[in-house]
Structure 1
Amino acid sequence: MDEGTPSRYRLDTGGSATLILPDGRTLSYAQYGLLTGPAIFYLHGLPGSRMEGALFDAPAITPRARIISIDRPGYGLSSPQPNRTILGHANDVDYLAKHLNLDSYAVLGISGGGPYALACAAALPADRLKAVSIICGLGPPDLGKKGMDWWHWIGFTIGFRYFPWACRWWFSRETFGRLDLTDQQRYDQFQQEWSRAKSTAHPKDVAALDDPDLIRWMVRNHREAYRQGFEAFALDGKLSTSDFGFRIQDIRPDLPIHLWYGKDDTSIPPIQGEEIAARLGPKARLRIEDETHGSLTWNCRVRALEDLLEAM
């Protein structure tokens, strides 16, 4: 886990920065890709951190995009905000855009970042926000869950909403949440677990998780996600399974929104994308790919960025 060892994914924090928001909170972000290219705000998963943007670093250079990846409150280096809302995070994105003097930009939300990408679509200025892309993104709690595995169904129906303490405890015992272990110990333990599980895993997941560089990045990303503990993660889950505070169908009709979902995704199944697209109407462009929850991002990153840049 030596960060000086060459890796296809950036493990360093050299692109990280912070700013102070009007309410005194710290907002942390990292920049990747081509810093003179069109700006795309990256909204991480559940859990996640600004380090997720590293997945788009090399691909971003090919489509010539500037990736600005943000830590939500309580993750990474961003201050906690116990009373935050999903819509409220759009205000943080707007303030950061003004801080960076951006006249136009797009938003890309992954998995648990989906609700926040929809909030940006609903709230950010029409003259600046040009397009939105959501990859395997979670939708409002009233959407269908057909095809979701038992663990995620429990979590997204009653777990996060009514038993956040149990979710905190469960994830603190998973390998990537074991903050009592070093990065090397977590890496080694995950490799042992994966060697036992891969025989029954989906072939697309095997192709991704057999990559040592990807595992190193996952360890690093989770270290940042849990840097301040598990409170932000539990609150994120509760917010994502409660009323979003806005209606998808009220998002402005002229905003291009690209939806990417995996046919074999059992974490956030394609029915979520189908129902989001139905509520968005003609503004939505839905793609159902032959991918799993994890492989969709690994295998469709470049295409998603190219489509987003074209829509801008």
Structure 2
Amino acid sequence: MLGMISRTGFVLLMGLMGMFYFATQLPPPKEISEADDDLPVITSTRIRLSDGRYLAYTERGVPKFKSNHKIVLVHGFGSSKEMNFLAPQELIDELKIYFLQFDRAGYGESDPNPNRSVKSEALDIQELADQLQIGSKFYVIGVSLGSYSTWSCLKYIPDRLAGVALVVPVVNYWWPSLPESLIKEDYRRRLVQWSIWVAHYAPGLLYWWVTQKWLPSTSVLEKNPVFFNNRDIDVLKTTPGFPMLTQDKLRERGVFDTLRNDFTVAFSHWEFDPMDLSNPLPQNQSSVHIWQGYEDKVVPFQLQRYVSSKLPWIHYHEVPDGGHLIVHYNGLSEAILRALLFQEKPL
């Protein structure tokens, strides 16, 4: 009897070890040769960075040599340089605005960065701006998770900034200045902690979870009331949404690795605390803004209010019926531009 129990225990132990090994392993990436018909065709204009990586970009608005304002747009999680920024063409022409949009490392047709960090995001933006010769100073607008790149610009290249707007910016629960009383009961904090642990120690399990079809998973973001309020869901009826977050795209190892890497860097332990930053524009040449939805289910407004209260040089705007997709609401892009370029008073 004792021997049977020992054998059963051994079998269970081996099974658990096998499951753990499976959880830590990712499927191998697809090997592509130069003769492969599936070799991706690059259609975007790209620059080569100093470390050899290529960064894809697109230019919109008025030609840069005719522009009065040059703005770098930084897309968020699962998006790309093709993100919609619904500024009226009349306003763009009137204010002579040039937009530079790019695929962040690993997204779209930009090469992944195996050494991605919070700092590398700002350095990519600076090198892109220098190679395209858009001037010594430019504006940066960062959206959602892409805002950690914008915080990085405020820290590492403040002398290059003419102004900054952070739209529903990510709040990292590991920032030292966030009071425990404010984040202790926030379920999103636990969700992020769990996701980071799984992404680091059990990436195979995460890959299986977001690509399996038997059970609903958080990869299915479209029209999900867990993440979006009613106004967001209306927006998603006419907006492409998150093309990289579909199960078909997530099965591509390159897509999965990029999203996993981007998320873990955004919620890593940063080398600085944003609430220790100084005003990069002390002579009021321009301004820094945070735009937040009161009904945002991804980033709670309470955290944004706290961050803004600790940085009085930031203008805080709150949209009463706004969710996480306020950048796609009619009139918001125009309001963001007018506040950024003309320092109009916050709402």
The interval holding the TM-score normalised by the smaller chain is 0.7 to 0.9
What is the Cα-based RMSD across aligned positions, in Å?
Answer: 3.4
Describe how 1:155-304 pairs up with structure 2 within 5 A: 155-164=191-200, 165=203, 166-172=205-211, 202-211=229-238, 214-215=239-240, 218-219=242-243, 228-255=254-281, 256-279=287-310, 281-299=311-329, 300-304=332-336
CA contact (8 A) 1:46 1:233 kept: yes
Measure the CA separation in 2 of the matches of 1:35 and 1:155: 44
| % same residue | 23
Bigger radius of gyration? 2
Q: Distance between the aligned counterparts of 2:261 and 2:302, measured in 1?
A: 25
CA distance in 2, matches of 1:160, 1:250: 25
The answer as to whether partners of 2:78 and 2:243 remain within 8 angstroms in 1 is: no
Output the amino acid matched with 2:91: T
Q: Which has the larger share of helix?
A: 1
Contact 2:86 2:334 survives alignment (8 Å): no
Number of residue pairs matched by the alignment: 273
**Hey, what's the Cα distance between the residues in 1 that align with 2:106 and 2:145?**
15
Q: Aligned partners of 1:147, 1:75: CA distance in 2, in Å?
A: 33
Q: 1:228 offset after TM fit, Å?
A: 3.1
SS at the partner of 1:51? coil
2: CA distance, partners of 1:88 / 1:43: 14
**Alignment of structure 1 residues 42-61 onto 2, 5 Å:** 42-52=73-83, 55-56=84-85, 58-59=87-88
Q: Is the 8 A contact 1:50 1:71 kept in 2?
A: yes
2:54 paired with 1:26: yes
* Structure 1 residues 54-73: aligned runs within 5 Å: 55-56=84-85, 58-59=87-88, 62-63=91-92, 64=95, 65-73=97-105
Shift, 1:24, TM fit: 0.5
- Equivalent in the alignment of 1:177: none
Summarize the Cα distance change of 1:122–1:311 in structure 2 as closer, same or farther, 3 Å threshold: farther
Residue 272 of structure 1 and its aligned partner are, at CA, apart by 2.6
Return the alpha-carbon distance in structure 2 between the equivalents of residues 270 and 69 of structure 1. Answer: 27
Candidates 148, 153, 170, aligned match of 1:120: 153
The separation in 1 between residues aligned to 2:333 and 2:59, in whole angstroms, is 17
Cα deviation, residue 247, structure 1: 2.2
Instruction: Tell me, yes or no, if the aligned pair for 1:85 and 1:239 is still in contact at 8 Å.
Output: yes
Structure 2: give runs of 5+ residues left out of the alignment: 1-41, 214-219, 282-286
**CA spacing shift, 1:113–1:220, aligned 2, 3 Å:** closer
Q: Distance in 1 between matches of 2:85 and 2:138?
A: 16
Q: Which residue of 2 aligns with 1:184?
A: none
Tell me if structure 2 keeps the 8 A contact 1:108–1:132. yes
The aligned counterpart of 1:100 is 132
